[in-house]
Amino acid sequence: MASRRLALAELATEPRALPARYLTPEDLVEMFELPSVETVYQWRRKRTGPRGFRVGRHLRFDPEDVRAWVEAQRKGVAA
């Protein structure tokens, strides 16, 4: 059990490669294991999540903006 926790901890510290395409709200739900897409839209309304933009009526996220947001969240926790 302890070795499994260690392996999971090591995985959590290694950044995953983000896709080379713009991300959808559904991608964020999957990546961050969120309860629903509504969480992503709430982040957007509250301006607490990664910066997104509209392509017509579709919401998209630049992978670099998502990475920057994650790093900012990690630094905020470490402080």
Report the C-alpha gap between 49 and 35 in whole angstroms.
15
Where does the pLDDT of residue 6 fall: very low under 50, low under 70, confident under 90, or very high at 90 and above?
Answer: very low
pLDDT attached to residue 78: 62
The residue among 10 and 41 whose pLDDT is bigger is 41
The residue length of the chain stands at 79
pLDDT in tens, 17-72: 777 899 999 999 999 999 999 999 999 999 999 999 999 999 999 999 999 999 99
Evaluate whether 43 touches 55 at the Cβ level (below 8 Å): no
